[in-house]
Amino acid sequence: MADALNERSQNILEAIVEDYISSAEPVGSRAISKKHNFNLSPASVRNVMADLEEMGLLSSPHTSAGRIPTGKGFQYYIDTLLEVRDLNRNEKQNLRNSYRFQNMRMEDIMQEVGRVLSGLSQYTGLVMAPKFISTVFRQIEFIRLSQGRLLVIYVSETGLVQNKVIEADPSLTAHDLEKISNYLNSELNGLTIHEVRAKLKQELQDDRVLYDQVKKQALSLSCAALQEEIEDQLYVSGASLMLGQPEFSTPEQMMKMIQTFESKKLLIELLDQGHSAQGVQIFIGSESSHVDLEGCSLITSNFSNQKGAIGTLGVIGPVRMNYSQVVPLVDFTAQLVSRVLDREIEKE
């Protein structure tokens, strides 16, 4: 595709995309000729626009003589024409100052990141906490709810808290549960959940466990608490900002967006796609298999800590979002969160 567009065509496509991003209105050849110093007549611009439309990079709304970029056109712009600059020192400091991480729990940090991303971009901020299996064990506690039911509270090394209700022996006393928690906390501290599961499996096969009642009960309860995968935690901030965009102004479009944010499943799937990737990833809804995200773009980046726990943050907005501003915002925020998580670990 890049070879198929000469410099003139690239310049005009770039101008149309950027004018459409700022106006949300179809862009006409006369406006391009007047606004941009291409030394081309409206007729010459119109001919190039017709070629770009034939290639599937532009489309022509029925009610306008102007053109708008297609998903394919935006994808070409992102892959070939988009120039993203690094934030300067003052911009980085201002971004740091936007966050209030002091004395925050992990869940609060995730919510704060989503809030600031949404506020600065004026789109919807998304943060997916590190996956349960990649987190590092710090503490587990069992609280009796009723006969035969326990609340398990799992805390990771970065401060993420997961709760789960499990079935258990009704005869277990509070003292028994305390001994079990103490044993597990001393044995499993510092291991990833993947390592914990392997250790539990190995120890359950040890004949000596049969003669140690506390150890046997501890392994049984921890298996019940940690073997099943826990649902991903996704934090969404500023969802209403999407509904204020002209692309999503009809009741049908609004309902589709609301359902997407409420179910969270699709958003988690998209964030998962960039989970193993390095750097910033950009997903355009119309260029993917996700029909529900038609007209949307998602910009994501991973964050991690020294222990390897990986989460994902990003911004979702209309396809015509301002990529040159949002990409460095997402990129630097991911670096910032990674450093914050490492400092939280060093405090332990």
| Average confidence (pLDDT) per 10 residues, the chain, 348 residues | 77 95 90 88 92 93 82 93 89 88 82 93 91 81 86 83 85 86 87 82 67 73 74 86 83 82 81 77 74 82 78 92 94 90 55
Q: Say which residue the tokens 């809804």 belong to.
A: 285
CA-atom Rg of the chain in angstroms: 26
Q: What is the CATH number of the domain that holds 12?
A: 1.10.10.10
Interatomic CA distance for residues 215 and 221, integer angstroms:
10
Q: What is the pLDDT of residue 236?
A: 92
SS3 for 128-158 is ECCCHHHCEEEEEEEEEEECCEEEEEEEECC
Q: What is the pLDDT of residue 276?
A: 67
Starting at the edge strand found earlier in the chain, the sheet holding 281-284 runs 234-237, 124-128, 310-318, 296-304, 281-284
18 and 152 housed in the same domain? no
Question: Which residues 6+ apart lie within 8 Å of 302 measured at CB?
Answer: 274, 275, 277, 278, 310, 311, 312, 334
What is the token pair recorded at 56?
């599937």
27 and 144 housed in the same domain? no
330 and 237 housed in the same domain? yes
Q: What is the pLDDT of residue 347?
A: 46
Q: What is the pLDDT of residue 207?
A: 59
Interatomic CA distance for residues 127 and 235, integer angstroms:
5
138 and 209 housed in the same domain? yes
Task: List the one residue out of 276, 332, 345, 335 whose CA is nearest residue 303.
Answer: 335
Q: What is the CATH number of the domain that holds 290?
A: 3.30.450.40
Q: What is the pLDDT of residue 210?
A: 54
Q: What is the pLDDT of residue 345?
A: 42
